[in-house]
Structure 1
């Protein structure tokens, strides 16, 4: 073990080296202090293991934050420094007002100037400062405050040690926008993440919302049906998803709990995971992953409990339609009385030092907006306008939730933490423990709008969206249309835990981003408000394949030996790359091939004989060396496209017409099924798939290995798995290049994957893979190592117990203090 001691007088000067070759004397003790005295002492031991795994040990939470942020900055300083520019409203100053940035976690692209005004509004209203000032449970627990204090000290210590001019990542080396941070910066990042599923999908729409001028004509809105359709398509398009399976004692070979966590998060940007192990002897011992900028384990395990998350189907916001006072577009009527909007003048600094000025407006319901998800469907006219009510606008409780979860030892303890804090902002929770219990819960921050209120208070648009999407658009001209209060809710206006779905079982629970309804098909969860999710409706193919594979393994009908799960079999379930669409459709498609050797698609007429032979021999799995997988992927992609040339038989296609057996609420896992080969769009989709490959000089029997890749420098890494919307449990979403390159670079998909089982000792048996690797720095040794392992279907053995940590041959250690 390489042990180093570093104090304030020792600087790391070699850019690009990670926790290495900077020895020197130090006056600090190698043992952590027993107490932190008035915030002036920070101390942590940082051990760096194989593949960049970070183990931080300290005597208190301040030390954990200190050590973790130092190690995290080594790996990802440029990405997180960019975030601090964003939440300060300074992107225009450093990157120009006309440029844009992507919040990949919710699929939005945001203009820098609009983004700056959005965050300047939050900062001018001191929303974060007000939340910071509150006592728990509404404000942060002392442990959370200590983590932030230490995080700031560790981050700034790293910048002092290395120097901005010597940063290891060329993406921000020497950049003026990389600076020391404050606690407020860190809390602003927390707030940004809380809003990811709500206000952050309307950054452009809030940051650019302006009242109409005096000569403006009343604009007509699109029809409610069209707006609802556009919103539904846009919202579905950003549901990047996740899978999780929690197994109880009745589903595992050893009678203990077991968990598969498989979040499908972005492979680039700030919504990535960073892997770490945090230990305070006698107080905290947890490992897993944290989102960038958050010094807590958000997905992981303790000694006796493992948990993961999937994006919930619940809505976190409701638009309010305002009736404006005639002649005054910044005043609105509530119960017939005029109410002035709150005007907030704001300035944004530009690259030349000049200021851009804009006044944004807020109402009792929330800030004004004019678009969402890039859709200009909420116009601000002289008569009508819209404001956005956001349930997470008052939520810092998720910090307390994770502080407590990082110590929890059972799913029942975890459930109590959820019920007490009510801070989960936009995800479901799935967990298992060593006693053999499995938990599903969607106890998350959701506006308290009953089905009755959603209709009674609906605006004309809301009458459609509440029924079709579950999204209430409420009448802001009536005070009675405010969100209701639940007696057991910590925060006014949200649904209390007694009215949110949860389930504990000893066989299994799962979720793959459909609603709570079929967490376990043997015990459907029903009777909840539509704003949380839908019930008794068709499930996505990814949900269905997950339920099928889980049930088949438990009862032994999957063709494998025995019944119930071993840890190894749970790993293999994820990477078996079964393709639900192929299992449902391919036999029928081959029947079509047998009788139709020629078809017409987007590229004109094609012969299908060779393509059909390839599909007939395909394994129906999206493995790297499975000829037919690429061709079938293009078939499904074209089947999902509805904008085919008008005047053709295929142009009348509706996706509901693809099935031969419709959805049956009494058999929701196996229906709908069958491919309707009489639908002309099916022929069109297959012919177009053939043209896609032939037109780009890609062989019809091409495998994924050459044509679905992730670029890391000059290296192209083959990526197995495929689109979750096509029924791939191992969801990987890449961009079709429409060239001989095939599919280039993963947008989102499997990210921090963990399989945790509990055996008869005190050390959980864990296997993980951080698919995109630990560092975003292209010059880091941890930039592509785990990505290569993922490509080979390899896993990393967990090192949770001390004996496993010290057995790591690549382990190096430093101790930092100040």
Structure 2
């Protein structure tokens, strides 16, 4: 492990006269800015030190020039970025920043470029072509990430059945009345893929008027999930619909709209594509746009134009920054009311004991239809279906200090965030959010909170790591009973394995592999005898609609498991692994559709095993005592740079279902100091 100490005349234990970064032994940068610009510059430097190769690659993609830099495999990405108008819009966004925040962006970029100039040997040669970075690159990356990955992405447009974001999360806020300490608590638990533009970066930022700790996605210059001494928040992907695909009626080289033919607006881009011999092939991309937005699909005689919210929301970063600077709920809501953040639930708790859930987002004001209607292809020939305004803050589903004393969101609609319900669906437009169903992970989330009327900080951390399969609780007894009655010896042995199983996906759980393979063999939509009911949102669906078919699927799963692993009761962690570099550890957790709160997504590795590729990524558990009590984990470590000791150094903790203490005071940080950088 490399220890670097930059010596200055000031004591390391004293408040800094200069801007500095104190790196702790987990590679977390604790930034002390003697002014705000200094803090932003240090944060740019820190992100380069921890994720320089990734950051430059992401900014290159956000320019729409990645194919020019790195070849054909990036061509679709470039086309998407240019079709969505990202580079052109970025210039407007940069000019729209407040003078103060524009100076912060400039400082962040100055830190990036200064690091690259100082340490060119630590940056991969192939990504150096992106340098120098400009402030506009940060805003292009922000657009690509928020608007054109989370709100809508290429896969969703290609497959209209996948209208929701593929990302997920859990979030809890617990009021003093349900907290063993009498202090409000917050649980932040986003679930994202473990790589690319979804990678979390943990940091502390301290400057005049701010001392915030949390995480952001690589390349973003402010904390997106954070807490300070007085309050904190997290985000989950909400059931928000911020885009629509409109079917156009073509006529006379234009399209029909309100009885008249309108011409398309046309923009052309010169694409340069790097070839394997280093030469550049050129190609013209022509983008047609209607009044709805750019044309994104022309096939089978159907032309679709895309309309996306948030294209005027240039103040996202400053809103996040001011959320982290807030000292109370009033100040926090004042920042939220700007509605610059295009989507995401906000889950909040503070030292005064308040908790809040906000179904945040830019929700179009639509003239007709329910949520399901707007998931489909929308007729584009009339202004009656063309939304032009969004709902104001006061229209959004929100609750502060519910009677239950707890709030949860596991990507379920806002109607089921607590029990008894605090927000009534009938009080909102039918298109605001779906009426259901509530999936098993959210049911497990609500059950843990509802069943414990005095939750300690330690219990909250333990609940966070729950691998219990809610799905198994609904149908396992009936499945086992039916399986035991079968004449087939394999089916009866499978039943005995399920009898002995602890109904969890812990590393040593035996039966979880068999059950999971069985789930893969069935159709969850037709499995249940009693369907989901919004009057019983946390106890339905239930029972087996066709026990014999379910048992047949169990026999098939048992045959597969026994053939692959030579036994039916193979341990979960033997098959499901955490692999990174030289690490190969037994995993715990699994897919949320099983009702597992501790989400880990796996991909097959080719050796009859499965490797974690996403899920629990950044976790923070916070109690707003004085001083604040906090623990956290960034599952894959806080660096992706080659040869960094912080690539996957937190993965063993992840395997043991542990969080690490958060060091926030200067005394704590100095006691766990790895490196110091003074600017």
Q: State whether residues 618 and 634 of structure 2, in contact with CA within 8 Å, keep that contact through their aligned partners in structure 1.
A: yes
List aligned pairs for 1:645-724, cutoff 5 A. 655-680=524-549, 682-724=550-592
Q: State whether residues 343 and 361 of structure 2, in contact with CA within 8 Å, keep that contact through their aligned partners in structure 1.
A: yes
- What corresponds to 2:75 in structure 1? 113
Tell me the distance in 2 between the aligned counterparts of 1:399 and 1:575: 31
In the alignment, structure 1 segments of 5+ residues that lack a partner are 1-16, 35-42, 100-111, 135-139, 207-229, 371-377, 456-465, 485-492, 555-563, 599-605, 641-654
- What corresponds to 1:404 in structure 2? 322
Q: 1:425 aligns with which of 328, 338, 342?
A: 342
List aligned pairs for 1:79-478, cutoff 5 A. 79-97=54-72, 99=73, 112-122=74-84, 126-134=88-96, 140-163=97-120, 166-167=121-122, 172-173=124-125, 175-197=127-149, 200-202=152-154, 231-232=160-161, 234-235=162-163, 238-281=165-208, 283-326=209-252, 328=253, 331-351=254-274, 352-370=279-297, 379=299, 381=301, 385-419=303-337, 421-449=338-366, 453-455=367-369, 468=372, 470-471=374-375, 473-478=377-382
1:65-115 Cα offsets, whole Å, 9 max, x none, are 111111111111111111111112222223322x2xxxxxxxxxxxx2232
Q: State whether residues 471 and 595 of structure 2, in contact with CA within 8 Å, keep that contact through their aligned partners in structure 1.
A: yes
- Assess, with a 3 A threshold, how the Cα gap between structure 1 residues 723 and 280 changes in structure 2: closer, same or farther: same
- Assess, with a 3 A threshold, how the Cα gap between structure 1 residues 467 and 25 changes in structure 2: closer, same or farther: closer
Q: CA deviation at 1:657?
A: 3.6
TM-score in terms of structure 1 length: 0.78
Tell me the distance in 2 between the aligned counterparts of 1:124 and 1:639: 42
- What corresponds to 1:630 in structure 2? 513
- What corresponds to 1:222 in structure 2? none
Tell me the distance in 1 between the aligned counterparts of 2:126 and 2:149: 34
Q: 2:410 aligns with which of 508, 512, 532?
A: 512
Q: CA deviation at 1:23?
A: 5.2
List aligned pairs for 1:571-582, cutoff 5 A. 571-582=461-472
- What corresponds to 1:651 in structure 2? none
- Assess, with a 3 A threshold, how the Cα gap between structure 1 residues 610 and 179 changes in structure 2: closer, same or farther: same
- Assess, with a 3 A threshold, how the Cα gap between structure 1 residues 595 and 114 changes in structure 2: closer, same or farther: same
Tell me the distance in 2 between the aligned counterparts of 1:293 and 1:175: 14
1:757-783 Cα offsets, whole Å, 9 max, x none, are 012x2x210011111111123421101
- Assess, with a 3 A threshold, how the Cα gap between structure 1 residues 33 and 787 changes in structure 2: closer, same or farther: closer
- Assess, with a 3 A threshold, how the Cα gap between structure 1 residues 424 and 684 changes in structure 2: closer, same or farther: farther
Q: CA deviation at 1:178?
A: 4.7
- Residue 387 of structure 2 corresponds to residue 483 of structure 1: yes
Tell me the distance in 2 between the aligned counterparts of 1:302 and 1:478: 49
Q: State whether residues 697 and 740 of structure 1, in contact with CA within 8 Å, keep that contact through their aligned partners in structure 2.
A: no
Tell me the distance in 2 between the aligned counterparts of 1:288 and 1:517: 28
Q: CA deviation at 1:285?
A: 0.5
Q: CA deviation at 1:386?
A: 1.7
Q: CA deviation at 1:580?
A: 0.3
Matched residue of 1:448: which SS?
coil
In the alignment, structure 2 segments of 5+ residues that lack a partner are none
Tell me the distance in 2 between the aligned counterparts of 1:353 and 1:25: 49
Q: State whether residues 593 and 609 of structure 1, in contact with CA within 8 Å, keep that contact through their aligned partners in structure 2.
A: yes
- Assess, with a 3 A threshold, how the Cα gap between structure 1 residues 251 and 33 changes in structure 2: closer, same or farther: closer
Q: CA deviation at 1:549?
A: 0.6
List aligned pairs for 1:491-570, cutoff 5 A. 493-505=389-401, 507-522=405-420, 523-526=422-425, 527-535=427-435, 537-554=436-453, 564-570=454-460
- Residue 570 of structure 2 corresponds to residue 732 of structure 1: no
1:362-382 Cα offsets, whole Å, 9 max, x none, are 122110011xxxxxxx6373x
Matched residue of 1:785: which SS?
coil
- Assess, with a 3 A threshold, how the Cα gap between structure 1 residues 596 and 439 changes in structure 2: closer, same or farther: same
- Assess, with a 3 A threshold, how the Cα gap between structure 1 residues 203 and 584 changes in structure 2: closer, same or farther: closer
Matched residue of 2:345: which SS?
strand
Q: State whether residues 53 and 127 of structure 2, in contact with CA within 8 Å, keep that contact through their aligned partners in structure 1.
A: no
- Assess, with a 3 A threshold, how the Cα gap between structure 1 residues 342 and 174 changes in structure 2: closer, same or farther: closer
1:311-340 Cα offsets, whole Å, 9 max, x none, are 0101111122222214x2xx1122222211
- What corresponds to 2:53 in structure 1? 78
Matched residue of 1:683: which SS?
helix
Q: 1:774 aligns with which of 634, 638, 643?
A: 638
Q: Runs (4+) of structure 1 moved beyond 6 Å? A: 24-27, 29-34, 203-206
- Residue 477 of structure 2 corresponds to residue 608 of structure 1: no
- Assess, with a 3 A threshold, how the Cα gap between structure 1 residues 124 and 789 changes in structure 2: closer, same or farther: closer
- What corresponds to 1:594 in structure 2? 484
TM-score in terms of structure 2 length: 0.93
Tell me the distance in 2 between the aligned counterparts of 1:244 and 1:632: 27
Q: CA deviation at 1:303?
A: 0.6
- What corresponds to 1:561 in structure 2? none
CA-atom RMSD in angstroms: 2.6
Q: CA deviation at 1:529?
A: 2.6
Q: State whether residues 422 and 497 of structure 1, in contact with CA within 8 Å, keep that contact through their aligned partners in structure 2.
A: yes
List aligned pairs for 1:733-748, cutoff 5 A. 733-737=601-605, 740-744=607-611, 746-748=612-614
Tell me the distance in 2 between the aligned counterparts of 1:82 and 1:751: 21
Matched residue of 1:350: which SS?
strand
1:610-637 Cα offsets, whole Å, 9 max, x none, are 3222211111111111111111111112
Range with bigger deviation, 749-758 or 469-478:
469-478
1:151-200 Cα offsets, whole Å, 9 max, x none, are 1111111111111xx116xxx35655352211111111111122145675
Q: State whether residues 168 and 236 of structure 2, in contact with CA within 8 Å, keep that contact through their aligned partners in structure 1.
A: yes
Matched residue of 1:52: which SS?
coil
Q: State whether residues 431 and 439 of structure 1, in contact with CA within 8 Å, keep that contact through their aligned partners in structure 2.
A: yes
Matched residue of 1:286: which SS?
strand
Tell me the distance in 2 between the aligned counterparts of 1:777 and 1:412: 40
Instruction: Report how many aligned residue pairs link the two structures.
Output: 670
Tell me the distance in 2 between the aligned counterparts of 1:672 and 1:122: 40
Q: State whether residues 276 and 287 of structure 1, in contact with CA within 8 Å, keep that contact through their aligned partners in structure 2.
A: yes
Matched residue of 1:191: which SS?
helix
